[in-house]
Structure 1
Amino acid sequence: MIRVHGGYANRMYRLDTDHGSFAVKELNLDDRRWTHHVEDVFRFERAAFDAGIPMPEPISASHGTLVHRWVEGEKVPEAPVSAAYAFEIGEILARIHALDVAWTRVSIEDPTPRDWSELAARAVATGQPWADELASHVETFLAIAHFVDTCERPGPVVLTHRDIQPWNLLSREGRPVVLDWELSGMLDLSGELGSTALSLAKGPGFDDIKPAIFRSVLDGYVAGGGALPPSGPSWFVFMIGGWLGHTRWNILRCLAGVDVSTGPGLALSHQSVRNGVRGLPELFGRLPEIEALLV
């Protein structure tokens, strides 16, 4: 097997055999942020693949390893996609949400951690390169945590991918291929649409947002038979909460200072922390502007 670098949570390998090529994903089981319901996700993936959703064929799933048929395609850069690509992603989401798949898992969300002062103090004491920036934003991170816990979600709740972002997509002859389904589960529809549409309509920061691309995702969703939920801050709370949790998880990895055998390397964790410490306060501060611009 050949290691394929770049994953933010797990480790990926390519396996070439007489029966074709396969993507073998080694799940991070040492310090993962959530329980991975392997059998449920695999059943959902099989239903999506059988329904013609453009995605790698799921081959097998076990406690620590996922296997899919390898799909060739171009990586999708973190930049606004074309209107046609965005429209097709919207259609794909509508088709996913229309799948009739039993899902008995009930997600019980714990309160968002509020230990940002303690984390900042530990970062300063251990000389982390991003410690001063984190310390200067502690109050903002506490406000973000409060927002995540108190923002009203209007529903409906749908069974969905939950993580359609540029790094989980390929472009094959200009059309989407959806990768990395292991976060699949129930989610408020507005959170899924807002997270997906915003990520496809912008570059790495928030100065290059294309409202027309955001709306193309929504137009595709409606064309695919979906109905849009009411506009409001709930469209972005899932994205903000996910990024907040991802940043905190990587902070803990950096504070431990150990390059563990699964999950991202320590250098990638430091990069993720820097991105979160700088990007989250900006996103949170511009939330009213983004909401008014896009929805």
Structure 2
Amino acid sequence: MRGVNLSQLGVPVGPMVRVHGGFANRMYRLDTDQGSFAVKELNLGDRRWSYRIEDVFRFERAAFAAGIPMPEPISASDGMLVHRWVEGEKVPEAPVAEAYAFELGEILARLHGLEVEWTETATEEPASRDWPELAERAAATGQPWAHELASRVDAFLAIAHFVDTCERPGPVVLTHKDIQPWNLLARDSRPVILDWELSGMLDLSGELGSTALSISKGPGFDTVEPAIFRSVLDGYVVGGGTLPPPGPSWFAFMIGGWLGHTRWNILRCLAGVEAGTGPDLALSHESARNGIRGLPDMFTRLPALEALLA
């Protein structure tokens, strides 16, 4: 982060330290005489969409002022976000406690009740259909997961069709859009929500389904805990929210987001160079492999996942 002026954060008491593990951007911790800060360098080079930094920052400030448990937003610019550092325990990719899930549902209900100006409408670009070409390029360049991708091309085309044709019942809400274990902390066993830069308008069923599923399962789909899934929904109702009707739309957003994320990482791997921003190349390979294996599995389990809504 050469040339970045962070003097408004105080006098540093040590060097800024990279915090590894981000799936899209790069994070650093800066300790100064005014406290500790999370400095996020946004990847603006090859993102699938542009960040709405000013709108997101306004949404974050409103959420923080309303008491939503999250890091305090400090500043935002075209390429950098700064928040006050929050200490807490990392949330593993495993079923959380029912009380944690219930409170997260309550938090979502409060978040969706905020009145924040947002000019963007909820739009999704059509899912890409270039999976045969990607498989050919992966084989030609000797990617370690090329054979697996080639064997699943038909599945990825079917997934893309599902994402584009699945009916969303509404309502559309302004929300976080990316509540996953790696975007959560546990502080005194209670939720803290991180990484708000993808916030925007989303069909409510997609937000609830993605959130409830992500914190009620392990790395695969063999350990989904129905009671924890339901706890998110119970908390949402107790918090004043109304549940949308059951159906596949609850999981369409999560599947579509994972599909796009997998393709993006495949393209980074096909480029074969260590980019200056975004995830390291090794992490892109891991994300590509996980998507190639996990997405078809999730897609075949849709009927069982819909049964969680009963």
Question: Does residue 290 in structure 1 map to residue 305 in structure 2?
Answer: yes
Distance (whole Å) between structure 2 residues aligned to residue 32 and residue 254 of structure 1: 14
> 1:206-262, CA deviations, whole angstroms, 9 ceiling, x for partnerless residues?
000100000000000000000000000000000000000000000000000010110
Distance (whole Å) between structure 2 residues aligned to residue 212 and residue 293 of structure 1: 9
Distance (whole Å) between structure 2 residues aligned to residue 168 and residue 108 of structure 1: 23
Count residues in correspondence: 295
Cα RMSD of the aligned pairs, angstroms, is: 0.7
253, 257, 269: which is aligned to 1:254? 269
Aligned AA (1:272): S
SS state at 1:6 partner? coil
- Show the counterpart of 1:168: 183
- Show the counterpart of 1:94: 109
- Show the counterpart of 2:201: 186
Distance (whole Å) between structure 2 residues aligned to residue 164 and residue 201 of structure 1: 12
Distance (whole Å) between structure 1 residues aligned to residue 297 and residue 240 of structure 2: 34
Aligned AA (1:251): I
SS state at 1:267 partner? helix
- Show the counterpart of 1:231: 246
- Show the counterpart of 2:164: 149
- Show the counterpart of 1:61: 76
Asked whether the 8 Å contact 2:17–2:28 carries over to 1, the reply is yes
Asked whether the 8 Å contact 2:210–2:254 carries over to 1, the reply is yes
Aligned AA (1:141): F
Give the drift of 1:10.
Answer: 0.2
Distance (whole Å) between structure 2 residues aligned to residue 202 and residue 106 of structure 1: 31
Give the drift of 1:109.
Answer: 2.4
- Show the counterpart of 1:72: 87
Distance (whole Å) between structure 2 residues aligned to residue 294 and residue 135 of structure 1: 34
The within-5 A match list for 1:4-83 is 4-83=19-98
SS state at 1:197 partner? helix
Asked whether the 8 Å contact 2:229–2:308 carries over to 1, the reply is no
Distance (whole Å) between structure 2 residues aligned to residue 38 and residue 52 of structure 1: 21
Give the drift of 1:33.
Answer: 1.1
List gaps (5 residues or longer) in structure 2.
Answer: 1-15
SS state at 1:216 partner? helix
TM-score by length of 2: 0.94
Distance (whole Å) between structure 2 residues aligned to residue 294 and residue 275 of structure 1: 26
Give the drift of 1:107.
Answer: 4.1
Asked whether the 8 Å contact 2:186–2:192 carries over to 1, the reply is yes
Aligned AA (1:25): K
Distance (whole Å) between structure 2 residues aligned to residue 265 and residue 104 of structure 1: 33
Structure 1 residue ranges, 4+ long, deviating more than 6 angstroms after superposition: none
Give the drift of 1:289.
Answer: 1.3
- Show the counterpart of 1:138: 153
- Show the counterpart of 2:130: 115
Distance (whole Å) between structure 2 residues aligned to residue 170 and residue 85 of structure 1: 11
Question: Does residue 244 in structure 1 map to residue 263 in structure 2?
Answer: no
Distance (whole Å) between structure 2 residues aligned to residue 62 and residue 52 of structure 1: 24
Distance (whole Å) between structure 2 residues aligned to residue 103 and residue 246 of structure 1: 25
> 1:177-204, CA deviations, whole angstroms, 9 ceiling, x for partnerless residues?
0000000000000000000000010000
Distance (whole Å) between structure 2 residues aligned to residue 43 and residue 199 of structure 1: 26
Distance (whole Å) between structure 1 residues aligned to residue 21 and residue 63 of structure 2: 25
- Show the counterpart of 2:290: 275
Asked whether the 8 Å contact 2:236–2:242 carries over to 1, the reply is yes
Asked whether the 8 Å contact 2:230–2:308 carries over to 1, the reply is no
Distance (whole Å) between structure 2 residues aligned to residue 294 and residue 218 of structure 1: 9
Asked whether the 8 Å contact 2:20–2:27 carries over to 1, the reply is yes
Give the drift of 1:290.
Answer: 1.4
SS state at 1:226 partner? coil
